[in-house]
Amino acid sequence: MKLYIDSDPFLKYRPFYEQTQSSNIFLNHWHEVAASALFYLALMLVAPTINTFMFGENYTKITKKKLKINFDIHVVAMVQSVTSVILCIPMFFHPMLKENPVMGTYDFAAFVAAFTSGYFIWDLFYCCVLYFDLFGFQFLFHAVAALVVFLSTFYPFCAPIIPFFLIFELSTPFVNANWFFSKLPAGAVHDKLFVINGLLLISTFFFSRILWGLYAAVKVFVMCWKVKDEVPKIMIGYIFSLNVGLDILNIFWFSKMIRIAFKKFSPSKPVKPNKEELVTEKQTKKEQ
């Protein structure tokens, strides 16, 4: 029994399939990139209905437009992260990962690259451009870097290695759940569930994005350098640079998580009275 997938079930649905056979991998899969971007756009449109069903008045009574949009965006991000993890798992078992990890490719890898690229196209223009004030430069860099990395696999370049980086999404469902929990009223989520999700968030983020992320960046660079005469060196340079940039961003986000966790669970220090309060207290005692 094969644990991996070779074929792309949606390849045959490309418009004018018989007339547009090409050696260019992107041209063979462009329809999947477009369909993916449209899928996430459609999901964003139905996200309010999903949030209304899940959170009821905790969502419908939100008056701040940007907060509602953030709820909807996190629904899309949740679907994308779960889908990404499911799609990348069989890729770890494909023989191409060992046989030809840098210059090799196969239809299912191209499909995963197309589906992921479609998401980051949506993410780039909808979240990072339309609502830049909501997410800022960090998420803009993340979207651009990820989109460039996944589009590069159509060269072909590092297509079998896609799961090395798509597995980063292992932590994202817990990130999204934590965001939802934090926006709900006190008592809406059981404390134990909040803590368990927080522990899973921190552990999966650390192992998948920090430890594995740094290892994967170096591993991929070493793999690419072994075949540096077969691929433009500029590709090796910018892919490695973007991967390192994403690793630095992940370390920054992780440090913020740790600070928030310590702040949340550390015992609160007693507030010391200021000089004015001490003077008032002394005067009161004298009057008594």
pLDDT in tens, 162-180: 999 999 999 999 999 999 9
pLDDT for position 269: 58
> pTM of the full predicted structure?
0.89
Q: Is the pLDDT of residue 273 over 90?
A: no
Which H, E and C letters describe the chain, residue by residue? CCCCCCCCCCHHHCCCCHHHCCCCHHHHHHHHHHHHHHHHHHHHHHHHHHHHHHHCHHHHCCCCHHHHHHHHHHHHHHHHHHHHHHHHHHHHHCCHHHHCCCCCCCHHHHHHHHHHHHHHHHHHHHHHHHCHHHHHHHHHHHHHHHHHHHHHCCCCCCHHHHHHHHHHHHHHHHHHHHHHHHHCCCCCCCHHHHHHHHHHHHHHHHHHHHHHHHHHHHHHHHHHHHCCCCCCHHHHHHHHHHHHHHHHHHHHHHHHHHHHHHHHHCCCCCCCCCHHHHHHHHHHHHHC
The number of distinct structural domains making up the chain is 1
Domain enclosing residue 281, as ranges: 11-287
Instruction: Judge whether 6 lies within some domain.
Output: no
pLDDT for position 267: 63
Instruction: Judge whether 139 lies within some domain.
Output: yes
Instruction: Judge whether 2 lies within some domain.
Output: no
pLDDT for position 193: 95
Instruction: Judge whether 4 lies within some domain.
Output: no
Instruction: Judge whether 188 lies within some domain.
Output: yes
Instruction: Judge whether 5 lies within some domain.
Output: no
Instruction: Judge whether 3 lies within some domain.
Output: no
Q: pLDDT tens digits, residue range 112-122? A: 999 999 999 99
